[in-house]
């Protein structure tokens, strides 16, 4: 199982340096790698490491590190997909531990701003108090998280009436491969 020496010694030392720069946790022990080697699918591949970023500054450092060292990043929330999207040999970036807050609600304009680790059903419990709901429904809605739903464009029983996840996203704040932050949003008519 432990494949660090000698092939991955340089990566291991670089990971140790990265862990010192993060407020979140970075793990590369065998148990963590085993736990994150699978999702709800039948696929299995051991990641290089697992990281739990605390905020966007951690994410920027992780993305810059991966770009510099040519290491793939595997974004992960709940791991409920059946197609193996969050299984790979790079660094698993699990945002479910810390980036799981509802940040802002505008009832009049009918939108909510959330972090990617917010659970779909918990979001709807919050929104129900204001007469609103997030329509895309999956069979795993009690544990599926918004970031994963966006990544998969999740849909389900209500999608014929309300559309899939992408029809409910107004804007995304993203981290590009150079570590910079960019907001992508829907274009207004006439914008290009």
How far is Cα 188 from Cα 67, in angstroms, rounded to an integer? 33
Q: Would you say residue 70 lies in a domain?
A: yes
pTM for the complete prediction? 0.90
For residue 93, which of 57, 145, 47 has the smallest C-alpha distance? 47
Q: Would you say residue 158 lies in a domain?
A: yes
Domain identity same for 47 and 69? yes
Three-state DSSP string of the chain = CCCCCCCCHHHHHHHHHHHHHCCCEEECCHHHHHHCCCCCCCCCCCCCEEEECCCHHHHHHHHHHHHHHCCCEEEECCCCCCCCCCCCCCEEEECCCCCCCEEEEECCCCEEEECCCCEHHHHHHHHHCCCCCCCCCCCCCCCCEHHHHHHHCCCCCCHHHHCCHHHHCCEEEEECCCCCEEEEECCCCCCC
**Residues with Cβ within 8 Å of residue 37, at least 6 apart in sequence:** 44, 45, 46, 47, 87
Percent of the chain with pLDDT strictly greater than 90: 78
How far is Cα 108 from Cα 7, in angstroms, rounded to an integer? 56
Confidence band for 48, pLDDT divided at 50, 70 and 90: very high
Q: Would you say residue 190 lies in a domain?
A: no
Domain identity same for 61 and 108? no
Q: How many Cα neighbours within 13 Å face the side chain of 20?
A: 6
How far is Cα 97 from Cα 179, in angstroms, rounded to an integer? 21
| Among the ranges given (48-62, 118-132, 175-189), the one the predictor scored with the smallest mean pLDDT | 175-189
Render pLDDT for 21-43 as a digit per residue (tens, 0 to 9): 999 999 999 999 999 999 999 99
Record the tokens describing residue 49, joined without a space: 């490491």
Count of positions (residues) in the chain? 192
Confidence band for 6, pLDDT divided at 50, 70 and 90: very low
Domain identity same for 133 and 151? yes
Render pLDDT for 111-159 as a digit per residue (tens, 0 to 9): 999 999 999 999 999 999 999 999 998 888 889 999 999 999 999 888 8
CATH number for position 156: 3.30.465.10
β-partners of residue 26 are 51
Q: Would you say residue 161 lies in a domain?
A: yes
Q: Which domain holds residue 20?
A: 4-94
Q: Would you say residue 148 lies in a domain?
A: yes
Q: What is the mean pLDDT of the chain?
A: 92
């Amino acid at each position: 199982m432990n494949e660090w020496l000698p092939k991955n010694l340089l990566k291991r030392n670089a990971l140790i340096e990265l862990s010192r720069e993060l407020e979140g946790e970075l793990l590369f022990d065998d148990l963590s790698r085993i736990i994150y080697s699978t999702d709800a699918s039948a696929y299995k591949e051991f990641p290089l490491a697992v990281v739990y970023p605390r905020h966007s500054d951690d994410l920027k450092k992780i993305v810059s590190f991966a770009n510099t060292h040519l290491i793939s990043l595997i974004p992960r929330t709940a791991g409920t997909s059946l197609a193996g999207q969050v299984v790979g040999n790079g660094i698993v970036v699990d945002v479910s531990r810390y980036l799981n807050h509802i940040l802002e609600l505008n009832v009049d304009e009918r939108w909510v701003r959330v972090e990617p680790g917010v659970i779909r059903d918990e979001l709807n419990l919050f929104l129900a108090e204001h007469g609103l709901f997030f329509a895309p429904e999956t069979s795993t809605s009690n544990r599926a998280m918004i970031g994963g739903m966006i990544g998969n464009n999740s849909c389900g029983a209500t999608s014929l009436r309300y559309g899939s996840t992408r029809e409910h996203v107004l804007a995304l704040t993203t981290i590009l491969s150079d570590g910079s932050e960019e907001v992508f949003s829907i274009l207004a008519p006439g914008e290009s």
